[in-house]
Amino acid sequence: MTDRLNLAITCFPTFGGSGLIATEIGLAMADRGHRVHFIARDLPVRLRGTSRQIFFHEVTESDYPALQHSGTYPLALASKMIEVASYERLDILHVHYAVPHATAAWMAREVLGDKAPRIVTTLHGTDTTLIGTDPSYLPITRFSILRSDAVTAPSEFLRQATWEGFGIPESFPIQVIANFVDTVRYAPVRDRACLRPLFPDLEETEPVLVHVSNFRPVKRIGDVVATFAEVHRQRPCRLLMIGDGPERSPAERRLRELGLEGRVAFLGNQEHFVELLAASDVFLLPSEQESFGLAALEALSCGIPVVATAIGGIPELVDRGETGFLSPVGDVEGMARHVLSLVSDPPRWAAFSRRARERVLERFRLAPAMDRYEALYRRLVAGTAGR
């Protein structure tokens, strides 16, 4: 084994948390001198700049008429994995999302035989709690997880959900490596000047709430709007909506019905929004399912308290009554009360903000997480870990 690893990463190249975390792992490993190959449909959104250590391999599907609508992506992905592994002599194939990436990795290994790289599967949430446990996919998802050389999850919640959802014994090792954040990029630098183009008449003391997600039903975007409306009823405020998805249009329609559309800015998918996040006052996350809550972690790193639902991995991230507040799913009034308790008491908000930043620096920095991933890779390559 040489000091430099030859690593491939497969992820969904979208604004979703799994793709962002996978890309940041690859960038960090390249910074440590390893060769990193991204195998994906498109260039991951955070794969910025150029590097002699980073390579991109596009997965293309056949346009043959008989194969249309037949779901050929897993086969095309497995073929590209075989190709890259053969030519590049990969040490590690790190796949993010069990369905279909872990399955494609297993198929590639069956073809490569003794020349196959070791497979690391990182679970991220709906691949195990929703899609993977669907009866149509459960057997193959369970099989693919069990055939991985190592499996990681970002939270204790997701590890337990994987064991229980797939009937996997707890003796089967799933290593918890929490998601992380670049604390230099996501820092508590508050400059409300960036809000002026969005809200020209913004008062200096007017609270700004923020939500970042893919606007899927599981995010309960209607609850974001309802919480904002309840807070505004008692204290005028503004709302930043960063992201896009199927729930955006219903949310915009509801705000027009309430006459609040002028107090809300929908910004769509944004790669660079840190200054807006840091200039806000409270982050809202009323999801009905979250394996971790990466967007909330980014807010906490900026010193922004989080008001969220007490589900999934969020309680492992948000310290109730110290860095934010947690409510039952659908408790709009309770979430609004928590928001008001923060924005109406500046010293209390400042204390929450300070503790939020401190907790992130203690538990969720990038470098310690990369140390754990790198150590895992090296154990696998040395043959001292895995199954």
For all residues of the chain together, what is the average pLDDT? 92
pLDDT in tens, 59-93: 988 665 544 554 789 999 999 999 999 999 999 99
Q: Where are the domains of the chain?
A: 6-180+365-382, 192-363
Task: Read off the pLDDT of each residue in 327-331 and give the average, rounded to a whole number.
Answer: 97
Helix axes of 221-234 and 332-343: crossing angle, nearest 10 degrees: 50
pLDDT band at 158 (very low <50, low <70, confident <90, very high): very high
pLDDT band at 18 (very low <50, low <70, confident <90, very high): confident
Percent of the chain with pLDDT over 70: 94
CATH number of 6-180+365-382: 3.40.50.2000
Lowest mean pLDDT among 123-127, 278-282, 366-370: 123-127
Task: Read off the pLDDT of each residue in 30-37 and give the average, rounded to a whole number.
Answer: 95
CATH number of 192-363: 3.40.50.2000
The separation between the first and the last C-alpha atoms of the chain, rounded to the nearest angstrom, is 19
pLDDT in tens, 176-208: 999 999 999 999 999 999 999 999 999 999 999
Q: Matching CATH topology for 6-180+365-382 and 192-363?
A: yes
Estimate the share of the chain in helix, then strand, then coil, as percent rounded to the nearest 5.
Answer: 45, 15, 40
Name residues whose C-beta falls within 8 Å of residue 20's C-beta, 6 or more positions apart in sequence. Answer: 45, 46, 294
pTM: 0.91
Q: Which two tokens stand for residue 148?
A: 């991985």
| pLDDT above 50 for 233 | yes
